[in-house]
Amino acid sequence: MAILKHIKSRNANYSDAIEYLLFQHDEKTGEKIWDELGRSILREHFYMSGINCDPMSFDKECEMTNSKFYKNQKSSEIKSHHYIISFDPADVTECRLTGEKAQFLCLELAKKIFPGYQALIVTHIDGHNQSGNIHTHIVINSVRKYSAERESYMTQPHDHEAGYEHRSTDKFLEYFKKGVMDMCLQEGLHQIDLLSPAEKKITLKEYMAQQSGQKKLEKINKKILTDGLEPLSSVFQTQKQELRTAIEDCAAHSNNFEEFQARLLEQYHISVVEQRGRYSYLHPDRDKRITERSLGTRYGKERLEQIFLHRDPFLIFHIQSPLRLVVDLQTNVKAMQSPAYAHRVKITNLQQMANTIIYIQEHGYNTQHDLKKHLSKITNKLGEMENLLRQYTAELETVNLQIRYTGQYFTNKKLYSQF
């Protein structure tokens, strides 16, 4: 599966980008590797091309373009944009992807995505930390050298004109991701849906922090083992990862949000609140909350409520009616801290109990057997609906595929006829 990463750079020295792409660097520290004579070591395998520039003079030509349009003169301005397309390691063994082919595909894609920009395209066949995945770096000057045709993702009047800066907006990234997906599907490579939110969202910054923290932890543990002691942990976790681990643990043992909220606070000292229909979490070592969007869809309100629902099927009735579970005052942290809140909860619990009796009488649930029988009937109906949903989803995917291929056919029909 090809993924796309984006890095903004305010470094005015464009030569640093060439240095990094052509010469070997330590993956953990980012420092250049030197030989015994103090010389830079060229990377063993790479492919390099340039768009609207000579790749070896990319730095000087970018500086000339900036001077021509009087752009990128301030240190606060973004000088270049660095995009990385990383292919699935399985593409090498199962789809016969080579560095040369990846370079060709990404070069053609870059010509389409970045018309009029000076771009440096370099493909490496050794992944991060020797993971073995082929990946391509696309570094562009932030200032457009030549004017180009206007595209649908452009929102400003002069986005397509020479001398104006590249803006990596959400609409542009969506356009770019769609291009990557289409490229992989057309070439038969492994690919996931890049346009849908990630279940577990890990940014490049968090990934690098994880790598750095793991390295420091290994050094500390080595010293502890030397002293004859046992390390407490062998795996470093960022604050976000600590949140993910705690959320998964507490959600698996909770039947509703109140119970989930209490477990997080009691076991991990993590506060969770609902704001504008979303959950936000406060790590005990932070002053600012982390939203569910930063963690991934797996840790959001919609997904967690589904987990609560499947753990307690009787919640179906509470969703379809005004009934709600009563609050256990013996375990509710807020009730323990505030007598006024505890008093309100007692009144609410009495109201909910009365509503429950009325609901049972109105629907004729005279015994627990009647209730379980009705639940079984609803559960079977829910299973049928879920099967229909999966069927319709599969049919919709097929229709969308046909629509896309039809669009490709009509787009290239004239050219194919000429050929």
Residue 78's pLDDT is what?
A: 95
The string of DSSP codes covering 92-103 is HHHS---HHHHH
Cβ atoms of 124 and 135 within 8 Å: the answer is: yes
- Domain count of the fold of the chain: 2
Q: Quick one: 28 and 151 in the same domain?
A: yes
Instruction: Tell me how far apart the alpha carbons of residues 129 and 137 are, in angstroms, rounded to a whole number.
Output: 16
Pick the most confident of 24-33, 50-59, 268-277.
50-59
Q: Quick one: 121 and 242 in the same domain?
A: no
More confident residue, 122 or 211: 122
Name which of 9-13, 19-23, 315-319 the model is least confident about.
Answer: 315-319
| Residue 176 reports pLDDT greater than 90 | yes
**Structural domain includes residue 179:** yes
Helices and strands in the chain: count of H runs, count of E runs: 14, 8
Percent of the chain with pLDDT over 70: 89
Q: Quick one: 189 and 253 in the same domain?
A: no
SS3 state at 177: helix
Q: Quick one: 15 and 66 in the same domain?
A: yes
Q: Quick one: 124 and 244 in the same domain?
A: no
SS3 state at 350: helix
- Assigned token pair, 47: 């492919």
Name which of 222-231, 256-265, 340-349 the model is least confident about.
Answer: 340-349
**Structural domain includes residue 377:** no
Q: Quick one: 332 and 283 in the same domain?
A: yes
Residue 300 Cα distances to 251, 303, 304, angstroms: 11, 6, 6
Q: Count the Cβ atoms, other than its own, within 10 Å of residue 300.
A: 19
Q: Quick one: 355 and 273 in the same domain?
A: yes
Pairing label, strands 135-141, 119-124 = antiparallel
* 103-126: average pLDDT: 94
**Structural domain includes residue 368:** no
Q: Quick one: 251 and 150 in the same domain?
A: no
Name which of 36-40, 55-59, 127-131, 178-182 the model is least confident about.
Answer: 127-131
**Structural domain includes residue 208:** no
The pLDDT mean for the chain works out to: 84
Bridge-partner residues for 47, per DSSP?
Answer: 123
**Structural domain includes residue 395:** no
Q: Quick one: 267 and 164 in the same domain?
A: no
**Structural domain includes residue 303:** yes
Cβ atoms of 121 and 48 within 8 Å: the answer is: yes
Q: Count the Cβ atoms, other than its own, within 10 Å of residue 409.
A: 10
Residue 232's pLDDT is what?
A: 78
Q: pLDDT tens digit string along 186-213?
A: 898 887 767 777 777 777 678 777 877 8
Q: Quick one: 176 and 252 in the same domain?
A: no
Instruction: Tell me how far apart the alpha carbons of residues 96 and 79 are, in angstroms, rounded to a whole number.
Output: 36
At which of 345, 363, 381 does a domain end?
363
Residue 344's pLDDT is what?
A: 73
The CA angle 347-348-352, to the nearest 5 degrees, is 120
Instruction: Tell me how far apart the alpha carbons of residues 64 and 72 are, in angstroms, rounded to a whole number.
Output: 11
Instruction: Tell me how far apart the alpha carbons of residues 5 and 201 are, in angstroms, rounded to a whole number.
Output: 12
253 Cβ neighbours under 8 A, 6+ residues apart: 263
Residue 44's pLDDT is what?
A: 83
Q: Could you tell me the pLDDT band of residue 61, with boundaries at 50, 70 and 90?
A: very high
**Structural domain includes residue 212:** no
Q: How would you write 253-285 as a 3-class SS string?
A: CCCCHHHHHHHHHHHHCCEEEEECCEEEEECCC
**Structural domain includes residue 380:** no
Q: pLDDT tens digit string along 350-372?
A: 877 888 888 777 777 777 788 78
Alpha-carbon torsion, ordered 176, 181, 184, 187, to 10 deg: -100
Q: Quick one: 252 and 190 in the same domain?
A: no
Check which CATH number belongs to the domain holding 26 and give it.
3.30.930.30
Sign of CA dihedral 83, 207, 153, 393: positive
Q: Count the Cβ atoms, other than its own, within 10 Å of residue 171.
A: 14
Q: pLDDT tens digit string along 375-407?
A: 888 888 888 898 898 889 888 888 888 888 887
Instruction: Tell me how far apart the alpha carbons of residues 224 and 226 are, in angstroms, rounded to a whole number.
Output: 5
Q: Quick one: 174 and 59 in the same domain?
A: yes
Residue 150 Cα distances to 51, 116, 248, angstroms: 19, 11, 46
The domain containing residue 267 runs over which residues?
237-363
More confident residue, 138 or 28: 138
Phi-psi region of 4 (alpha: psi -120 to 50; beta: other; left: phi over 0): beta
